[in-house]
Every structure is written in structure tokens, then in C-alpha cells.
A = this chain, B = another copy of it.
């Protein structure tokens, strides 16, 4: 990866370092190069490196010790999700050690329910795009993902939508919207009949449900997501730094 000008430099440094942690170039528990060394190597100022390191530390990837050095959190590999991407289902699957893939189930149009209209700031009955997808972990179906998006936001023919893309790419390509932040509600629920149709496992067992609201620029709600999965197979674990 090279330093470009599109994203902020600090965010690019952040991604580079995160990639090195994921790839095992910086091993769990080991000390990473000092701020000065990184700033020399990457050709950015020490202040920029510090910004990136601060974000990684806030998200629990690294631990910093004054006068000593910066260390990779020894338990990064025991966590399946991280704060920057709790809503990223593919990351959740790969974080559990499986190979993620997506199956496109269906795409539909239907009027919004009262609750959906409220959350998405729409009139009741406005038309929604209904996207249903199934996430696989090593060929095994594990997450049933439903997303609803206001039809009025669509900027491309609906039949062009590639359901296998990442949700963030879908928004960029077909809706010309960028996700600025997300709000996720974690619920415990029982396996319903429609979910059981796609996910292996007995009906009536307790499973996790992630209800996600995506927001774009100016706090405009973009979409609503409901994702259910069996947490006995797919663990949802998070690391958090102390101070």
C-alpha cells in the first residue's frame, strides 16, 4: 500500500499498521517499531504516526507504554470483531477463523412499515428495497442478513445490484452514498422459522441478532440491517483497552 491523498494520511497509516498486525508481520505480544522509525519508513511525520497509533490503541489493538514501547495486544487473535467493524459481517467470519463468502438470496420492493419509516425518516408506505443475503463460513451458512434501503436513494437500475458486494461498496456504487457511522443494537432472540430455513440448527435455540442503522452525511439514515446468527458457532468477542 502506498500513501495516497484520497483518504487522510493518518487513516492510511492506520490501515497499513492494522494490515501488518493481521498478517502477522507484527506478532501478538511483540513490540512494534518506534514512532520515529515508522515515521522515517513511511515518510510521514511523527505526529501523523501518533494519530494512527492513538486510534489503534483506542480500539485495543496495541498497548503503549511510556519510556518502553508499543506492543501488539497479545489477544488480538482471540477477538472476532473490533470496534471499527462490528457491523462488518465478513470480518466477523474471518475473525472466527473461517473463510467468508456471500450468497445473494433475493431483492424485492415493498412499502415501509411504520417502524421502518420512523427509523429511516420516511413517510409510512414509502417504497423500500429489500435485500436478503446469506453469509457462509467455509461453505456453511451462518448469518442471515436482511437490509432495507429507501428506493428513493437508488441511483442505478435495481437489477444491476451485485448482492455479493460489501454493504459499503453497494452504497457507494448504486446509491452514491458514503457511510459516516453506524449504530448497532445487539439483541438476544430465538431462532425463528424463516431463519431456520437458511441456517443450520434447531428452532427455538437462543441466537444473536445485530440490528444496524447506517447513517450517511448530515446524519441521514441510509439503511436498516437485521443480521441473525448462532453465537455458539460464530463468537462475538471484543477487546477493549483500559484507559
Residues of A within 8 A of B (CB): 7-8, 11, 29, 47, 50-51, 54-55, 58-60, 63, 66, 73-75, 78-79, 83-87, 178-190, 206-208, 215, 219, 231-232, 235-243
Contact = CB atoms under 8 A, between A and B. Distances in A.
B59 A58 contact: yes
Nearest to A240: B182
Contact of A206 (B47, B83, B87, B189): B189
Candidate in A84, A188, A190, A238 with the most chain B CB atoms within 10 angstroms? A188
Contact of A87 (B11, B55, B240): B240
* Shortest beta-carbon contacts, A-B, top 7: A188-B188, A58-B58, A188-B206, A83-B83, A185-B237, A206-B206, A186-B236
Contact of A83 (B58, B75, B178, B219): B58
A180 B71 CA distance: 13
A187 B231 contact: yes
11 contacts: A50-B51, A55-B58, A60-B181, A86-B240, A178-B242, A184-B237, A186-B237, A186-B238, A187-B208, A188-B206, A188-B207
B236 A208 contact: no
A13 to B, nearest CB: 13
A180 B240 contact: no
B183 A78 contact: yes
B219 A29 contact: yes
Contacts of A232: 187
Given A85-B240, A178-B242, 17 more contacts: A11-B243, A29-B219, A50-B51, A58-B84, A59-B83, A63-B180, A78-B183, A79-B183, A180-B241, A180-B242, A182-B240, A183-B238, A184-B237, A184-B240, A185-B236, A187-B232, A206-B206
Nearest to A54: B54
A240 B51 contact: no
A93 B53 CA distance: 31
A189 B186 contact: no
A221 to B, nearest CB: 10
Contacts of A75: 183, 215, 219
